[in-house]
Amino acid sequence: MTRPPDVTAVGERKARASTFSPLTTKAPAKLNIRLKITGRRPDGYHELVSIMVPVTLFDEIRISPAAEGIHLETVGIPVPGDETNLVFRAAEAFLSRLAIRRGLFIRLSKRIPVAAGLGGGSSDAAATLMTLNRIFSHPLSRRELAGMAVRLGADVPFFLNARPCVATSIGEILEPLNRWPPWWYVVVAPSFAVSTAWVYDHFKLKLTSPDREYILNTLKKGHFEPRDLLENDLEAVTAKRFPVIETIKEQLMAAGAEGALMTGSGPCVFGVFPSETKASSARAKIESQDLGTIFVVTQHG
Ligand code: ATP
């Protein structure tokens, strides 16, 4: 009898770690430099083409041994500490897949704003899977981890190998972009959250041209400007409900940004700068305007 490759022998492999030293992993945020919605699948998921870049704003996951059960402690920005947390769900999926009975203490230090378009929950889930796979001596292959990741959320596979990528399908097909420009970003996080589901519910699909080819052709050029790529189909939906998004974009442009865009389903907005000095000076210019929390970041990894 043949078994599907995804489950081959996993249960037969030894997940070794009777006890282990605590392990800490950084979970980066992401920015969507471009996000085009290209279709809707019968199961309700939207198909998209997106450029995703991991950036130097991090949550942190620390996993240490416990006698039994999964114990999650959250510090920093408030997030649910129960079984709805993606960290908990990722740990549960990993342990049950490998029939591991060992208990875990997990501490999630939350610095990435929540429901902000920065992908923090997905990144935490990926960091949890990768940390557990390390602790238990790599019982799961990359492919098996990716399969587990996409069941936790469409953006989770991206964070398993966080580097600039073109993401297609529902976000889980990833093509690395090896020559991503060394841009700096000023990220403004307004103090309110936006539900991704609400934004997609209010999005009206238009006919779109093939975007993956456009991206790859633009990136092939020796020189391109941020404005050649910065576009987010979800921005109009979120900005209609929260006009401050337009205000933040205008302020970032007035402070010298070469382009400004909302990331994901928002409400975070980022400006693109050619250097850290220019990004920091823009931050100083907009700081007094009370637009939200401001981070100066660059590509991670
Ligand atoms: P995306 O860009 O993928 O839409 P996001 O940054 O907008 O993500 P998240 O911060 O990942 O959104 O959180 C979305 C929802 O998920 C929140 O309402 C939150 O309650 C829930 N959630 C569950 N686990 C976590 C986690 N570890 N960190 C943040 N949010 C979490």
pLDDT recorded at residue 8:
35
Please list the residues that pair with 106 across neighbouring strands. Answer: 63, 72
pLDDT recorded at residue 53:
98
Mind listing the pLDDT tens digit of every residue in the chain (301 residues)? 333 333 334 444 556 666 889 999 999 999 999 999 998 888 888 999 999 999 999 999 999 999 899 999 999 999 999 999 999 999 999 999 999 988 999 999 999 999 999 999 999 999 999 999 999 999 999 999 999 999 999 999 999 998 999 999 999 999 999 889 999 999 999 999 999 999 999 998 887 778 899 998 998 887 889 999 999 999 999 999 999 999 999 999 999 999 999 999 999 999 999 999 999 999 999 999 999 999 999 999 8
pTM for the full predicted model: 0.92
Going by alpha carbons, the residue nearest to atom 15 of ligand 1 is: 115
Nearest to 129 by CA among 99, 157, 107, 105: 157
What spacing in Å lies between the alpha carbon of 80 and ligand 1's midpoint? 10
Question: Catalytic residue numbers?
Answer: 30, 155
Q: Give the pair of three-digit tokens for residue 182.
A: 């060394």
**Contact status, residue 34 vs residue 231, Cβ threshold 8 Å:** yes
154 lines ligand 1 (CB under 6 A): no
pLDDT recorded at residue 255:
98
pLDDT recorded at residue 224:
85
pLDDT recorded at residue 17:
62
Q: Give the pair of three-digit tokens for residue 62.
A: 């620390």
Going by alpha carbons, the residue nearest to atom 11 of ligand 1 is: 121
pLDDT recorded at residue 211:
87
What spacing in Å lies between the alpha carbon of 139 and ligand 1's midpoint? 27
Please list the residues that pair with 188 across neighbouring strands. Answer: 269, 294
